[in-house]
Structure formats: C-alpha cells, structure tokens
Structure 1
Amino acid sequence: MKILLLFFLFFLLSAAVAIMMDLVMGMNLSMSLRNMKNPFWVMTLPEYVILFVLLAVMVTSIFTKKQPQPRNKS
C-alpha cells in the first residue's frame, strides 16, 4: 500500500512541476491543463491498450506482493 501511495505522490508532484513550468513560461492554467491532456487526445487504440496493460501490471504487482514470513525463534 505504501508503494501505491508513493506512486500517486510522485504522479501529483510531477504534474505540479509540469503545470508550474507552464505557468512560469506565461501560459494560463487552462492552457497548462490542456497541455497535460493533449497526449491522450492523439493516442490510437493500440497505445491505449499498452497504457492500460502497463498500469494494470503495476497495480496488480502492488497488491499481490508476498509478505515476508516471520521467523520463529527457537
């Protein structure tokens, strides 16, 4: 669960940096958000499939990770 939280934290931080860079260059907020969504507008179906497969692999690997077994002290 910590890994998922870190993933979302890094995602939000990287999105904030991209928006701040656009704002520093003189764009308004709506133009900056449009630039963030633009790559998804021009994607084709195979690109969407690859994107969702990679995201699904990442999420399932987080939830199916084995927990280490505690050792019995004898």
Structure 2
Amino acid sequence: MIKLINIITQNIILLGCCAISIFILFVLITFIKNVDDFAAITNMYDYIRMQNITIKIDTIIFKTIVILSLSRINNAI
C-alpha cells in the first residue's frame, strides 16, 4: 500500500514539474516574440534577468524530473 501511495505521489510531482516547465517555456516564447529587435528593449537588465531566472528554474525542474524517474525505476525493481 505504501509503495502505491509513493508511486501516485511521484506521478503527481512529475506532472506538476512538467506543467510548470511548459508554462515557463510559453512565457519565455511570448516574451521573446514580443521583442522584435534587441534595440527595442528599453531595459536590457530585465531581459537578461528574466532569461537567467527561466534557465535556473528549468534546470531545477529538469533535475527533479531525472531524480523522480530514477526513483521510479528503483521502486519498480
């Protein structure tokens, strides 16, 4: 029973991480599409800061997905 609860919890966390990653990707794509020319950016600091934060969050989410996948493989064995 505990193994089943663990697998369900891991699935929920995995789906949540994927949803957050997709949302961040869409926000980044929308932000980049609205900026037609780099010269049109009035505040380059905000642009670079947003990209750095997005990359950090996506890296953390990717690591979480890999760790959860490895944990699921370990539980299956």
Q: For the superposition of Structure 1 and Structure 2, which TM-score range results when normalised by the shorter chain? A: 0.3 to 0.5
Give the structure, 1 or 2, with the largest relative contact order (CA under 8 Å, sep 6 or more).
2
**Structure-2-length-normalised TM-score:** 0.38
Structure with the higher helix share, 1 or 2: 2
Max Rg structure: 1
